[in-house]
Structure 1
Amino acid sequence: MRILTAAQLRALDQATIRAEKITSGELMERAAKAFTKAFTRHFPDPERPVVVVCGTGNNGGDGLVVARRLKSRNYKVSVIQANIGTRSADNQDNFKRLKGQGIEVRQLTQGDPWPAIAPEAVVVDALFGTGLGRPVAGYWAELIDYLNALPNFRVAVDLPSGLSSDGPQEGPCVHADLTLCLGLPKLALFAPANTQLLGNWELVTFPLADPDRLHPEVGGGPAYQATLNDASELGGLLKKRYANDHKGTFGHAFLVAGAFGTMGAAVIAGRAVLRAGAGLLTCHIPRSGYEIMQISFPEAMCKVDTHRYHSTEIGDLGAYDSIGIGPGIGQEALTVEAVRSVLSRYERPMVIDADAINIIAAHPELLKLIPKNSLLTPHPKEFARLFGETEHDFARWQVQREVAKRNGLVIVLKTGFTSIATPGGELYFNPTGNPGMGTAGTGDALTGVLTGLLAQGYDPVTAARLGVYLHGLAGDLAAEELSQEFLLAEDVVSHLGQAYRKLRE
């Protein structure tokens, strides 16, 4: 699913109107109908008051249609009309259509006292849309502050008013408890800095033209902001298994993980390699970890380092279809040289995580040794160590994309909506996963999943997209069964099978 700029979204609306021979008002009805359906699912009690705060643009027009549709479902709905400026044509038309509907409309003009809103009412924010080109100021900024100070539950139409869809937040913004985003996702939804502004959010789809067929009008390929990982597409990328396949068919993975005191990282990552479908796994571990691995994870073969506590001498790598390196290995001087040796000798894509990333950050010359199309999986602090600090999320995504393209790497930036930048300049966001996965070892599990997929012959970009999606989906299934608070990394690994099954549905 494409993620478009505000300008591209406006062009797509116009293309839909032309292609389907409908009016802009009819398209507004589509959007408001979809919003109303989602809203009534969240708030099924029509006796609960609803106050729709509308501006004079098309976002306000959406709000006016929503008010009319809620009234038709017998909701106790009223409208606060903020007279911000000249009405758009569709806003004017829908304002006229409110007459005779039995909907109370309170006019709010600059300088008026703030309207009273019952604390139990749901406030629907339809003040400003994605076309807002500058921060809200003056009286209307004070209105946003007033709404935020109320105890009411706030629902945003498309995006919270004042929130930029394409860049960092500037100026006041409605703090939504729920955002029902219309049509296609906006880049702002995925920015960690916007989490408290958006509340929970979900995408509310309705029929639009296909943006991929509108290159001259909407922009194509790299002109798109990004793409959202979609289960319907990813399910079709899963490899089929046949009757005479065997463990050799599914690849031999090699995992360099663990040190004295951190062998759990090796166990979790190793289990994830095989649970992701790899046929064979060899783990390189220090001598002190041998008994731990043999007892806790008998399915793995072990190569034991000469050093008791750390990985220092890693032998021949030619037998392995993929390598995962980094979880729990530490950053001792001898381990640094071991990482350097692996990077310089292995020519296929590998997965680089955790301590291996920190080693590369401390020794930048190692970046040039990484095999092309390898997967790096930093969290934000590791990303900053590798590539420098950025001012905001949007700048970090730009750096992520540039670094991936310049170095021929797949950069997996682990956040609530993990982003994947590819050597071709694409940027993907992942919708699965939950806060319960913010616990020790889940990153090691992701390393294992990605390494296991590479071993099976998935190309690096597909491995990244599938791996991140499956890892997050397994976490969602585990949280649904166990609760987010109870979740452990091992629960994520143990639910990978259910995740595969669900993705194949």
Structure 2
Amino acid sequence: MRILSAKQHHALDEATMRKEDISNLDLMERAATAWSKRFSQLYPNKNRRITVLAGTGNNGGDGLVVARLLRFETYTVNVICATIGTAAADNATNQRRAKDVGVPIRYLNKDDAFPVYPPGTIVIDALFGTGLSRPVEGYWAQLIEHLNEQEVTRIALDLPSGLATDEVSRGAVVRAHRTLSLGYPKLSLFAPGNTPYLGPWELVPFAVADAYVDGLPGQRFMLSDRYVAGLLKHRHGNDHKGTFGHALLVAGSFGKMGAAVICARAVLRAGAGLVTTHIPRSGYEIMQISFPEAMCSVDVHRYHFTGIEEDIAPYATVGVGPGMGTDESTEKGLFALIADCKVPMVVDADALNILATFPDRLGDLPAGSILTPHPKEFERLFGPTEDDFSRWSLQRDRAQALGLTIILKTGYTSIATPDGRLFFNSTGNPGMGTGGTGDALTGMLTGLLAQGYTPTDAACLGVYLHGLAGDLAAEVLGQESLLAEDVVSHLGSAFRKLRSTTGHA
């Protein structure tokens, strides 16, 4: 699903009205109907008091329609209409329509006393919309901060008021407990820095001119189940372990063999036919006992990786880094491995930390390799950035310049590809913030590359499945008790659920 800018959302609205010969009022009604339906599903208790805080623009117009529709559904609802300049014509029309069905409307003028809400009230924030072009300041900023201090449940209609759509937000922003965003996704939804303002968010679709979106410029996308399911390869009756690829995994050191075990399991759980783990001698028994399906190649050093003497040409791909350590001899072994490797690699953890010390060596990685840094590792590799938006820009630039796929691991993991596309993941949960889940992702990516998936497809499929497996595990275990092993063990269920999307379970 394409991620649209504020200007593109406006252009899509205009295209929809032209194509269907409808008015802006009709489009407001359509969007607000979809939004109200989802709100009613989430908040079915009609005894709770609901206040719609509406502005004078289109977002406020949507809020006024929502108030009227919730009134029809017998909710106790009232509107506080903030007179931020003269009301737009459609907004004024919706004010009249709301009054006609008995919705109480109170007008709030600049410098009036701020409203006080009874505890437990649901406040629907429709003050400012995606058309906001500057930070909220003065009285209206104070109104937002006042709302943030109230003992109420704040639900944002489309985006929290004050939140910029396409860039970092500078002024006052409503701290929503939940955001129900209309139509296509906005870039600001994925920014870690916006988490305190959004709460859990979801998209509320409604009918628009979807064909118009295909012709819009831009290469930012949100991964969806249908898109990712379409990437899955199909297996045939005479396939065998040789068909599904042989992966080499270089991981583990003294005290960190768990990373190697988790990663190796994920390689095969992701569908690879064979995995050989190159590990230090002290880890041989651990790997053989913990994961007998893995073959072992043993380093000459007892405690850490120093190099591979065997020919690596037979391997379909190489994963390197989890738990490997950063000893000087490990550095030399890593660069020798990179020099010998002719297939895409998955580079993670300590391998990234070593490369960060020698950034000029990033260009030596085989074409199509995948890097999987978390934010601190990304900063070590490519330097600091001011905010999430500038970091995404740097991620995209580096992926293009180096010919690599760069996966930046955050709550909504982003994937930058050599052709300039930027994908954002939509699966996963905070319970996955525990040791070893990154190692599981590295193994999954390695296993997918081994099967012949392109680096871009492997990255999109691997990241999506990784998060989906975590979601399925959390449904059973809860987020607090989630372990990396649980993510790996639920990978089969994630594959099955994704295949059911295509009708080929």
| Map 1:224-243 → 2, pairs under 5 A | 224=219, 226-243=220-237
Deviations, residues 83-133 of structure 1 (Å, cap 9, x unaligned): 001212221111111122111111100111112321121000000001111
Residue 270 (str. 1) matches residue 264 (str. 2): yes
How many residues in Structure 1 have an aligned counterpart in Structure 2?
A: 499
| Map 1:397-408 → 2, pairs under 5 A | 397-408=392-403
- The amino acid of 2:87's aligned partner reads R
Residue 151 (str. 1) matches residue 151 (str. 2): yes
| Map 1:240-259 → 2, pairs under 5 A | 240-259=234-253
- The amino acid of 1:176's aligned partner reads A
How far apart are 1:148 and its partner, in Å? Answer: 0.6
Aligned to 1:260: 254
Deviations, residues 175-217 of structure 1 (Å, cap 9, x unaligned): 00000000011110100000011111111111111255563xx
Unaligned runs of 5+ in 2: 501-505
In 2, distance between residues paired with 1:208 and 1:309? 60
How far apart are 1:473 and its partner, in Å? Answer: 0.3
- The amino acid of 1:478's aligned partner reads A
- The amino acid of 1:296's aligned partner reads S
How far apart are 1:342 and its partner, in Å? Answer: 1.2
Give the match's secondary structure for 1:74: coil
Aligned to 2:295: 301
- The amino acid of 2:294's aligned partner reads A
Q: Quick check: 1:259–1:289 contact (8 Å CA) kept in 2?
A: yes
Residue 92 (str. 1) matches residue 87 (str. 2): no
Q: Quick check: 2:307–2:337 contact (8 Å CA) kept in 1?
A: no
In 1, distance between residues paired with 2:213 and 2:352? 40
How far apart are 1:22 and its partner, in Å? Answer: 1.4
Aligned to 1:385: 380
Residue 63 (str. 1) matches residue 63 (str. 2): yes
In 2, distance between residues paired with 1:435 and 1:468? 15
Residue 202 (str. 1) matches residue 202 (str. 2): yes
Aligned to 1:318: 313
How far apart are 1:24 and its partner, in Å? Answer: 1.1
Aligned to 2:10: 10
Q: Quick check: 2:12–2:213 contact (8 Å CA) kept in 1?
A: no
Give the match's secondary structure for 2:56: coil
In 2, distance between residues paired with 1:115 and 1:450? 53
Q: For the aligned residues, what is the CA RMSD?
A: 0.9
- The amino acid of 1:252's aligned partner reads H
After superposition, the Cα gap between the structure-2 partners of 1:389 and 1:32, relative to the gap in structure 1 and judged at 3 Å, is same
Unaligned runs of 5+ in 1: none
- The amino acid of 2:323's aligned partner reads G
Q: Quick check: 1:123–1:152 contact (8 Å CA) kept in 2?
A: yes
How far apart are 1:365 and its partner, in Å? Answer: 2.3
Give the match's secondary structure for 1:71: helix
Equivalent in 357, 361, 364 of residue 356 of structure 2: 361
- The amino acid of 1:81's aligned partner reads C
In 1, distance between residues paired with 2:165 and 2:74? 33
Residue 160 (str. 1) matches residue 160 (str. 2): yes
Aligned to 2:75: 75
Residue 337 (str. 1) matches residue 360 (str. 2): no
Q: Which runs of 4+ in 1 moved over 6 A?
A: none
Q: Quick check: 1:12–1:211 contact (8 Å CA) kept in 2?
A: no
| Map 1:163-182 → 2, pairs under 5 A | 163-182=163-182
Q: Quick check: 1:410–1:420 contact (8 Å CA) kept in 2?
A: yes
Q: Quick check: 1:111–1:139 contact (8 Å CA) kept in 2?
A: yes
In 2, distance between residues paired with 1:439 and 1:477? 16
Equivalent in 416, 420, 438 of residue 421 of structure 1: 416
Residue 494 (str. 1) matches residue 489 (str. 2): yes
In 1, distance between residues paired with 2:354 and 2:99? 67
Deviations, residues 20-51 of structure 1 (Å, cap 9, x unaligned): 22111111111101110111111101111100
- The amino acid of 1:349's aligned partner reads P
Q: Quick check: 1:269–1:447 contact (8 Å CA) kept in 2?
A: yes
Residue 412 (str. 1) matches residue 416 (str. 2): no
Q: Quick check: 1:253–1:321 contact (8 Å CA) kept in 2?
A: yes
Residue 40 (str. 1) matches residue 40 (str. 2): yes
Deviations, residues 287-326 of structure 1 (Å, cap 9, x unaligned): 0000101111110100000000111021321010011000
In 2, distance between residues paired with 1:368 and 1:178? 43
Of 68-77 and 340-349, the range deviating more from structure 2: 340-349
Aligned to 2:498: 503
Deviations, residues 312-360 of structure 1 (Å, cap 9, x unaligned): 0213210100110000000000100111011111121110000000000
Deviations, residues 341-399 of structure 1 (Å, cap 9, x unaligned): 11111121110000000000011122111111110000000000000000000000000
Give the match's secondary structure for 2:99: coil
In 2, distance between residues paired with 1:286 and 1:116? 65
| Map 1:469-480 → 2, pairs under 5 A | 469-480=464-475
Identity %: 61
Q: Quick check: 2:246–2:317 contact (8 Å CA) kept in 1?
A: yes
Of 205-214 and 25-34, the range deviating more from structure 2: 205-214
Q: Quick check: 1:376–1:410 contact (8 Å CA) kept in 2?
A: yes
Deviations, residues 122-149 of structure 1 (Å, cap 9, x unaligned): 0000000011110111111111011011
Aligned to 2:503: none
Give the match's secondary structure for 1:99: helix
- The amino acid of 1:103's aligned partner reads V
How far apart are 1:71 and its partner, in Å? Answer: 0.1
After superposition, the Cα gap between the structure-2 partners of 1:213 and 1:187, relative to the gap in structure 1 and judged at 3 Å, is closer
Q: Quick check: 2:307–2:334 contact (8 Å CA) kept in 1?
A: no
Give the match's secondary structure for 2:322: coil
In 1, distance between residues paired with 2:468 and 2:14? 36
In 2, distance between residues paired with 1:284 and 1:120? 58
Give the match's secondary structure for 1:3: coil
Aligned to 2:115: 115
Equivalent in 458, 463, 466 of residue 468 of structure 1: 463
Q: Quick check: 2:313–2:342 contact (8 Å CA) kept in 1?
A: no
Aligned to 2:275: 281
In 1, distance between residues paired with 2:487 and 2:120? 39
- The amino acid of 2:81's aligned partner reads Q
In 1, distance between residues paired with 2:168 and 2:227? 30
Give the match's secondary structure for 1:98: helix
Aligned to 1:131: 131
Aligned to 1:372: 367
- The amino acid of 1:475's aligned partner reads G
Aligned to 2:425: 430
Give the match's secondary structure for 1:2: coil
Equivalent in 431, 435, 445 of residue 440 of structure 1: 435
